[in-house]
Amino acid sequence: MLVPYEYVPHQMERMQEFINFIFDVWCSAPSGAPYSLNLYNGNPDLKEIMTAFHYADTQIADFYSSNIEAIYRHFSQLDQGQIDQLRLWFDANNQIEAACSDKDLQIARYAEVEALDANLAAALRKFFTGIYDKVGAADLVQKIGTISAHHDAFVLVNNFGKCPFCGLSDLKGEYHEKREAYDHYLPKALYPFNSINFRNLVPTCHECNSVYKLQKDPAFGEGARRKSFFAYSAVPSDIRIKVKLASPNYESISPDDIVFEYGPPEKTEEIATWCDLYGIDERYKAKCCGENDGKYWVAQVLDECANEGVTPDQLMARIRRQAEKSPLAESNFLKKAFLEGCKEAGFF
């Protein structure tokens, strides 16, 4: 991830607070108490919502009421050891930053829950994969607001206008009526418990979200835990890119002629995950080989050197300043790296 987002607190976070309370209700099921609305007495706002859902005759209301009660009944059949394990998984799956950085954190996918109780896993999957699309229920909106309102607040703070995962595509912002989709960084199809956790929800360009990442798992690669960038990290990613070229002529350059080297070394694992999730090598090579991108960048340098009385070193100094000041503008981060590689290859 080229640039981390700044996390923006919002009332939508209350939905995760409601989920936390509902999970505690589920964990109380083995005590033998029958399911009832009184289980929500400790959270008046949630009880008001659940009461409205209970008496409403809508599909969304039925989704919440029936699924939450069904999961309660599954929990009622568990022993204390199983409850304790689910509590550990629930807590771990909602530590999104730690899930990205700490490979020893025992996060749980549906596969792990299935090993504990297959019927419970199926019920949890039905609920947590469906809940994100149903937070617009009127009774919920009164308490938590809307995702669109969250997005409006989000883009006022994160207003760089480019996808921070690839640095190539535009992101819709405050001047657009539409908004970008939110990606579930830990995919909701794979992970229970965090599908409405806003530290796991990140606005992402269509290419990154729906063409390349899809359901890829940032936390596991080839069956083993791996590190990944946390989208809301307070620490800059500080990715450095070096380009090496094998082509003798920029006009005939192809992806096979390009090798990318990424740094810094201490983030090698996170960078490898980033490249895998978003097809970074393929996309950056295509950009560098494009007639109106990489090849144009070189042609522009040659033209300015020939007609504007500047040297390649002077031009590169200017390009480096631009990349330092505004790395995402006009793909400056990649333009700088590619042109440095071109200069090293003797193109100018």
State the CB neighbour count (10 A cutoff) for residue 267.
18
How high is the pLDDT of residue 248? Answer: 86
What's the Cα-to-Cα distance from 41 to each of 15, 36, 61, rounded to whole Å?
17, 10, 19
How high is the pLDDT of residue 104? Answer: 98
Per-position pLDDT tens, the chain of length 348: 999 999 999 999 999 999 999 999 999 999 889 999 999 999 999 999 999 999 999 999 999 999 999 999 999 999 999 999 999 999 999 999 999 999 999 999 999 999 999 999 999 999 999 999 999 999 999 999 999 999 999 999 999 999 999 999 999 999 999 999 999 999 999 999 999 999 999 999 999 999 999 999 999 999 899 999 999 999 999 999 999 999 888 999 999 999 999 999 999 999 999 999 999 999 999 999 999 999 999 999 999 999 998 999 999 999 999 999 999 999 999 999 999 999 999 999
pTM: 0.94
- C-alpha 176/C-alpha 152 separation (Å) is 10
Query: Contact, 93 vs 110, CB < 8 A?
Result: no
Structure tokens at 215: 């359901």
Q: What is the DSSP string of 93-147?
A: HT-HHHHHH-TTS----HHHHHHH-HHHHHHHHHHHHHSGGGTT-HHHHHHH--H
Phi and psi for 128 in degrees, rounded to 5?
A: -80, -20
Q: Encode 56-76 in three state secondary structure.
A: CCCHHHHHHHHHHHHHHHHHC
How high is the pLDDT of residue 157? Answer: 97
Q: Strands 201-203 and 182-184, how do they pair?
A: antiparallel
How high is the pLDDT of residue 77? Answer: 96
CB contact set of 89 (below 8 Å; sequence gap of 6+): 106, 107, 108, 112, 113, 192, 193
